[in-house]
Amino acid sequence: MIVVTGGAGFIGSALVWRLNQLGKNNIIIVDRLGSDEKWKNLVPLNYYDYLDKQEFIEKVEYDEIDFEIEAIIHMGANSATTEKDADHLMENNYKYTQTLAKYCLEKNIRFIYASSAATYGDGSLGFDDADKNCLKLHPLNMYGYSKNLFDAYAYKNGMLNDIVGIKYFNVYGPNEGHKADMRSVVHKAFEQVRNHGKVNLFKSLHPDYKDGEQKRDFVYVKDAVDMTLFFLEHKDKNGLYNVGGGKARMWNDLVTTLFHAVGKPVDIEYIDLPEQLAEKYQYFTEANLDKIKKAGYRKPLSTLEEGVTDYVQNYLMKRKFLGEE
């Protein structure tokens, strides 16, 4: 079995979709569905069974897993960058990952887990995914801190020699509709265009960036899952790896592409950056992909224009999920 934690979520369900495309249905989905609508991500997918995240971790802790596991792909986490309950993040993001990693190493199970580009903080220390760099990073929010804390724990205890941590940059694409405020700007902007014919972007408070010219590394979810699953097939490749588009692009570029995809004139309004975000706002991110390329990943990545257009025209406009193509 391949266990995908967070398997009903955005990247998790996309991983299951791609595994299905590769002919793999021997999948256990671990999640907690709650009261949002992420359960809809599961409807088109093929998998063997579903387990609640608490039930699963208890089975792990008491060594009561009654099926053979080939790999655990750990996408389950609270990914809200605005989450203020630090104790919850320590338990849910850090301790849970610790438990799974130790179990996998003990049982010789492949372990791939989601880290985050949020670990890089304001980017002043660069975006180099060399394993040892996790010791010097200063994340801007508790979510990024919880992710970097495990990266550092894994490094200091020699775990990164045998497991893989994926530092996801700005992932966008199908199956993210349940994420509320944590949805990508593509999803939010599509709703704004549909409802109002224009898009709001934050003004810049940084003298080096004009309004809308703040830059992020955007990566289409289909590319993100392919890069992740590369490590399922290549078990000799371990450590921390950036997963992104590899090229910083302006918010203006992203929104302009969206307007073109829906066939409407570009209309952008710049609004004030909320005070609570001002000190935690990233003005530039760009994944250094040298390490994953050196590991052997060769598949071409979608351009921003290709990814946004596919997402908008084949999923958002048709209200489809991955697997319903």
- Report d(CA 13, CA 233) in Å as an integer: 19
135 CB-side CA count, 13 A:
8
Q: Could you tell me which of 311, 113, 103, 307 has the C-alpha nearest to residue 228?
A: 113
Q: Which residue has the tokens 């050196």?
A: 294
CB 30 within 8 A of CB 75: no
CB contact set of 193 (below 8 Å; sequence gap of 6+): 199, 258, 259, 262, 264
Instruction: Select which of 96, 143, 155, 168 is catalytic.
Output: 143
**DSSP at 272:** P
- Report d(CA 275, CA 50) in Å as an integer: 41
- Report d(CA 192, CA 220) in Å as an integer: 20
Q: What are phi and psi of 270, to 5 degrees?
A: -95, 125
Q: What sign results for the dihedral spanned by CA atoms 26, 67, 11, 108?
A: negative
- Report d(CA 174, CA 308) in Å as an integer: 10
Instruction: Select which of 24, 53, 102, 179 is catalytic.
Output: 179
Is position 24 annotated as part of the catalytic site? no
- Report d(CA 8, CA 76) in Å as an integer: 9
Is position 143 annotated as part of the catalytic site? yes
Continuous H helices in 184-313: 185-196, 221-233, 251-262, 275-278, 290-294, 304-311
Q: What angle do CA 31, 243, 150 make, to 5 degrees?
A: 60
- At 186, the amino acid letter reads V
Per-residue tokens: 138: 């200063």
Show which residues are catalytic.
143, 179
